[in-house]
Each structure stands twice: as structure tokens, then as C-alpha cells.
């Protein structure tokens, strides 16, 4: 693996861990604001981001490359609104996509096939994650940022009605 790609992959870990940390904080704020569907969705996103970091770590370890775990700053614990929160999620995902695309181009240029294959998974994943964030944000803007509209979307999120959303837990009404 080239030095640049190794450095880039290690730097990318920070984006995944930071997203996990931020999404966990968002999930706490959403629970505090009586939006359990949104909270469950963000908790799931937080776990997914940890899995993304682990996927890169496993790749580096398998290839006998040095992993450098990043320091992660404390995330914001309050949000102006569910809309502001979701807008931040979408922006975050777009930043991650940009980083993945850069890494993919580096791997391609270096003819690093295992790297390309590993990053290919992330290209597809990012497309799905952006689409899900965009779908939720769009529905908040349609239905309104407060009251009945927001409650309706919260119900959808706990029932898995929005593409890319988790299904309702077993036994849920």
C-alpha cells in the first residue's frame, strides 16, 4: 500500500468515529425530545459508523499496515430542531462521501486492487446513506418541523416506512 493511501485511510477513520459519536449524541437529544423513532434511527446510524471504521481497520490489519486511531472531540449535545439535526447528518454524509471518493481515486491511481475493492463497498454505502438522510430531511421539510407532522415522521422511522430506515423492533405495535 502506498504511504499516501495508508495516511488517507487512517485519516478517514476520524470521520467515521466522529460521525458515530455525533449520531449517538443526536440519538440522546432525540430521546430527550420525545422522538423515539428518530432516536432509534440515529442510534442505528451511530453503530453503523463504528462498523465502517472497523471495516477499514480490518483491511489495514489484514494487509499488515499500521493503524493509527484518532482522538475524537466531544460532539454537540443540543440541536436547534430536528430539521437542523438532519441537515447536519446530510452534510456529514456528503463530507464522508467526498473523502471516500478521494481515497478511491488514490487507490485506483496506485493500482491498489484490494484497496479499490474495499472502497467500492463504501461508495455504494455512501450513496445509500446520503439518500436516507435526504429522504428524512425532505419529509421534515414537507410535514413541518414541529407538532403532528414531526410525530408522523417519527412513527414512520420506528416502523421502517422510509427507505433505508430500520424496521420496527419485534413485538412493536
Shortest approach of Fe ion to residue 49 CB, angstroms?
5
CB 123 within 8 A of CB 155: no
- Which one among 22, 49, 130, 156 touches Fe ion, defined by CB under 5 A? 49
Part of the chain binding Fe ion (CB under 5 A), chosen from 6-14, 23-31, 46-54, 154-162 = 46-54
Shortest approach of Fe ion to residue 129 CB, angstroms?
4
Binding residues among 59-98 for Fe ion as defined by CB under 5 A:
none
Cell numbers 481515486 correspond to: 105
Binding residues among 12-31 for Fe ion as defined by CB under 5 A:
16
φ/ψ bin of 70: left (φ > 0), alpha (ψ from -120 to 50), beta (otherwise)? beta
Burial 84-93 (b: 16+ CB within 10 A, else e): ebbbbbbebb
Q: What is the DSSP letter of 146?
A: S
Distances (CA, A) of 172 to 13, 46, 152, 160: 35, 22, 16, 12
Part of the chain binding Fe ion (CB under 5 A), chosen from 44-52, 68-76, 98-106, 156-164 = 44-52
Shortest approach of Fe ion to residue 19 CB, angstroms?
5
Instruction: Tell me how many residues contact Fe ion (CB under 5 A).
Output: 4
Shortest approach of Fe ion to residue 30 CB, angstroms?
17
For Fe ion, the nearest residue by Cβ is 52
How many Cα atoms within 13 Å fall on the side-chain side of residue 137? 16
129 binds Fe ion (CB under 5 A): yes
Residues near Fe ion, by CB under 5 A: 16, 49, 52, 129
Amino acid at each position: 500500500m502506498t504511504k499516501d493511501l495508508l495516511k488517507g485511510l487512517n485519516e478517514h477513520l476520524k470521520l467515521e468515529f466522529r460521525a458515530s459519536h455525533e449520531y449517538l449524541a443526536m440519538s440522546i437529544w432525540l430521546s430527550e425530545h420525545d422522538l423515539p423513532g428518530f432516536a432509534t434511527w440515529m442510534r442505528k446510524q451511530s453503530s453503523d459508523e463504528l462498523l465502517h471504521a472497523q471495516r477499514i481497520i480490518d483491511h489495514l490489519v489484514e494487509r499488515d499496515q499500521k493503524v493509527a486511531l484518532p482522538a475524537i472531540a466531544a460532539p454537540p449535545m443540543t440541536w436547534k430542531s430536528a430539521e437542523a439535526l438532519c441537515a447536519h447528518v446530510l452534510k456529514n454524509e456528503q463530507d464522508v462521501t467526498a473523502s471516500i471518493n478521494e481515497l478511491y481515486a488514490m487507490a485506483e491511481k496506485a493500482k491498489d486492487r484490494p484497496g479499490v475493492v474495499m472502497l467500492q463497498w463504501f461508495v455504494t454505502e455512501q450513496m445509500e446513506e446520503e439518500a436516507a438522510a435526504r429522504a428524512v430531511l425532505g419529509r421534515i421539510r414537507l410535514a413541518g418541523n414541529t407538532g403532528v407532522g414531526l410525530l408522523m415522521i417519527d412513527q414512520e422511522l420506528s416502523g421502517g416506512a422510509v427507505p433505508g430506515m430500520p424496521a420496527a423492533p419485534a413485538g412493536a405495535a
